[in-house]
Structure 1
Amino acid sequence: MEKFARQAIVDGVNNVKDMSVMRDSELFRALNMHYNKANDFQIPDRFLEVAEITLHEFYNAISTAKDSDPSWKKAIYKVICKLDSDLPEEFKTSSCL
């Protein structure tokens, strides 16, 4: 997330609303390869929503220089943890666990 947020800033993105996470985006492909290498399951839409919110949080923190504080990610993690949801049953019974 941090890498993609920093790249957006370098690329001249000026508004966090201009960034989205879609199934055909490079960020989605990277996350899918990391968490779902064998494509064992369909990624829920909620995952895309949370990924986008997370990307926005990183972008906002970096663009306002909050990343100069050693514990700058803690505020982001607090936002993300509020978005947690129960693990879907299909993941619990998947052979990938």
Structure 2
Amino acid sequence: MFFYTRYPSSNMLKTYFSDVKFNRCITSQLIKWFSNFREFYYIQMEKYARQAINDGVTSTEELSITRDCELYRALNMHYNKANDFENVG
């Protein structure tokens, strides 16, 4: 969800998190949390793209993400800090 909108609406949050009892504070915190996740993701993508351009990549076919890639490592460490989710690939 956070890939598509910077600040999800309260209605969108209520749709995805029906078990949460919303109030102004909780809604505000969730909006900020999703915004921060989205911002981190796009910052990492931009860093990866800039590095690829500096390395002479001229086509998307030349790009690949592997488990050894710095981008993969950075995203996994940020979004899966406790290693709750097994990474496939």
TM range (shorter): 0.3 to 0.5
Q: TM-score, normalised by structure 2?
A: 0.46
Could you say which structure has the larger radius of gyration? Answer: 2
| Structure with greater contact order relative to length (CA < 8 Å, sep ≥ 6) | 1
TM-score, length of structure 1 as denominator length: 0.43
